């Protein structure tokens, strides 16, 4: 094994995303021959005691309570932003300005303006050697990476349809507690930014095309909720569900839906693409599988085939187990870490870039504007 260089990682936030990222940083060098070995240098949180306990549990060497101090650390070369969306822009821009690489959770920002500033900052920093990536981890699902390969080699042909939904149900009950995810000023939006951002990015990633316009509906079914342990209901200022129809630059029609009210659907991200040469279908609840219909087959034996994406020839599978030994949701973060470290070491631009994140943000912004004006068609700017 060749000698590897270390890279110090500083992470902001240690909740759900922070735990998943920690597992990735600890694991990536064990599974893959990455050119840089991540060192879990420091984790940052507001509450010192809680952050210390998280650091111990998750394997971080040091603790910070101010993200500026985290960025300032000499032993940190990469800032991993796992905090809520309202902090993304400040931290990312400061980190890039300080010459640190940045991995930022999705969605890139809470507002289009912030996203634009972040993309600009990433552009400037790129010339100075700092790399920025947005954490659309589902691009790293082997089945979806395979889907993209198939599309790139023409297996779908001229694209006609994209239909994507991301269905969860954790707000179905009216008495589910109020959290920061229901506050527009913290989360930016609701299901739209949390779930919709993923399927918009996947549509861009898989097709290599972009959404050029949308017509949208959103709804907030439950207008106020009570915080855990609280007695005073708080207004819910984000959407519970968002759906929209769209056109892609190449002429395909698309539909998208994100909701937290799809009772019984726990993590129901489904995406299907139909083209002149074939079709692909994917369901996150069965993430080791990709369905592929090859239109070139004789109609007598044609059918959607269920590819178990665990072969050594499949993307990311060289780091893992023999065929048929499935991966889980968390592996997407390990793959993300691998790709980011590889790009940094090679001096290349990691994907999805902040520009990719901005592209998603423009679509989300168009969705919100369309929904606000009675579902009028809204063109997506910039593209």
How many residues sit close enough to a copy of itself to count as binding (CB under 8 A)?
A: 97
Q: How far is the CB of 98 from a copy of itself (least distance, A)?
A: 29
Please choose, from the candidates 131, 162, 109, the residue with its C-alpha nearest in 3D space to the C-alpha of residue 280: 162
Nearer to a copy of itself, 311 or 348 (CB): 311
Q: How far is the CB of 174 from a copy of itself (least distance, A)?
A: 8
What's the burial of 219, exposed, middle or buried (CB within 10 Å: 0-12/13-18/19+)? Answer: middle
24-43 residues in contact with a copy of itself (CB under 8 A) are 26-27, 30-31
Q: How open is the CA angle 383-201-221, to the nearest 5 degrees?
A: 105
Q: How far is the CB of 230 from a copy of itself (least distance, A)?
A: 22
State yes or no: residue 120 binds a copy of itself (CB under 8 A): no
The pattern of x and - marking residues 342 through 361 that bind a copy of itself according to CB under 8 A reads --------------------
Nearer to a copy of itself, 333 or 354 (CB): 333
268-327 residues in contact with a copy of itself (CB under 8 A) are 268, 274-279, 284-288, 292-295, 299-308, 310-311, 313-314, 320-327
- Answer for which of 62, 98, 176, 253 binds a copy of itself (CB under 8 A) is 253
From 12-20, 66-74, 98-106, 228-236, span contacting a copy of itself (CB under 8 A): 12-20
181-240 residues in contact with a copy of itself (CB under 8 A) are 215-217, 219, 221
Buried b / exposed e over 271-295, threshold 16 CB at 10 Å, is: bbbbbebbbbbbbbeebbbbbbbee
Nearer to a copy of itself, 91 or 280 (CB): 280
78-117 residues in contact with a copy of itself (CB under 8 A) are none
Nearer to a copy of itself, 330 or 351 (CB): 330
Nearer to a copy of itself, 8 or 142 (CB): 142
Alpha-carbon span 242 to 236, nearest angstrom: 15
**First-to-last CA distance in the chain?**
43
Alpha-carbon span 27 to 367, nearest angstrom: 38
For residues 40 and 14, the answer to whether their CB atoms sit within 8 Å is no
Alpha-carbon span 257 to 374, nearest angstrom: 17
- CA atoms within 13 Å, Cβ hemisphere of 184: 10
Q: Which residue has the tokens 């239909």?
A: 163
For residues 50 and 20, the answer to whether their CB atoms sit within 8 Å is no
132-161 residues in contact with a copy of itself (CB under 8 A) are 146, 150, 155, 160-161
Nearer to a copy of itself, 23 or 90 (CB): 23
The strands making up 101-105's β-sheet, listed across from edge to edge, are 62-64, 36-44, 5-12, 78-81, 101-105, 132-135
Question: Measured on CA atoms in the order 293, 295, 298, 300, is the torsion positive or negative?
Answer: positive
- Answer for which of 117, 201, 257, 339 binds a copy of itself (CB under 8 A) is 257
């Amino acid at each position: 094994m060749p000698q590897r260089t270390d890279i110090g990682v500083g992470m902001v936030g240690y909740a759900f995303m922070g735990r998943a990222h920690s597992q990735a940083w600890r694991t990536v060098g064990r599974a893959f021959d990455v050119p840089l070995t991540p060192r879990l240098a420091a984790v940052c949180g507001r509450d010192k005691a809680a952050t210390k306990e998280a650091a111990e549990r998750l394997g971080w060497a040091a603790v910070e309570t101010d993200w500026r101090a985290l960025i300032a650390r000499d032993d940190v070369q990469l800032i991993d932003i796992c905090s809520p969306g309202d902090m993304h822009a400040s931290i990312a821009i400061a980190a890039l300005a300080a010459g640190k690489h940045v991995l930022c959770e999705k969605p890139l920002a809470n507002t289009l303006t912030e996203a634009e500033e972040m993309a600009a900052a990433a552009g400037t920093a790129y010339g100075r050697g700092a790399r920025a990536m947005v954490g659309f981890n589902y691009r790293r699902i082997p089945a979806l990476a395979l889907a993209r390969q198939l599309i790139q080699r023409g297996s779908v042909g001229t694209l006609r349809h994209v239909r994507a939904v991301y269905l969860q149900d954790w707000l179905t009950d009216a008495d589910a507690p109020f959290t920061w995810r229901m506050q527009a000023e913290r989360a930016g939006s609701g299901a739209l930014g949390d779930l919709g951002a993923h399927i918009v990015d996947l549509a861009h990633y898989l097709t290599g095309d972009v959404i050029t316009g949308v017509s949208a509906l959103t709804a907030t079914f439950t207008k106020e909720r009570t915080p855990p342990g609280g007695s005073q209901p708080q207004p819910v200022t984000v959407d519970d569900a968002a759906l929209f129809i769209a056109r892609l630059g190449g002429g395909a029609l698309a539909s998208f839906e994100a909701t937290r009210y799809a009772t019984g659907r726990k993590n129901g991200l489904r995406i299907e693409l139909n083209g002149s040469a074939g079709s692909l279908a994917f369901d996150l609840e069965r993430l080791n599988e990709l369905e592929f219909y090859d239109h070139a087959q004789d109609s007598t034996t044609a059918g959607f085939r269920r590819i178990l994406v665990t072969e050594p020839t499949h993307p990311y599978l060289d780091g893992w187990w023999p065929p048929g030994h499935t991966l889980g949701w968390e592996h997407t973060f390990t793959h993300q870490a691998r790709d980011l470290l590889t790009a940094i070491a090679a001096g290349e631009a990691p994907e999805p870039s902040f520009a990719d994140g901005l592209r998603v943000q423009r679509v989300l912004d168009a969705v919100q504007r369309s929904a606000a004006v009675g579902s009028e068609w809204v063109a997506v700017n910039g593209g």
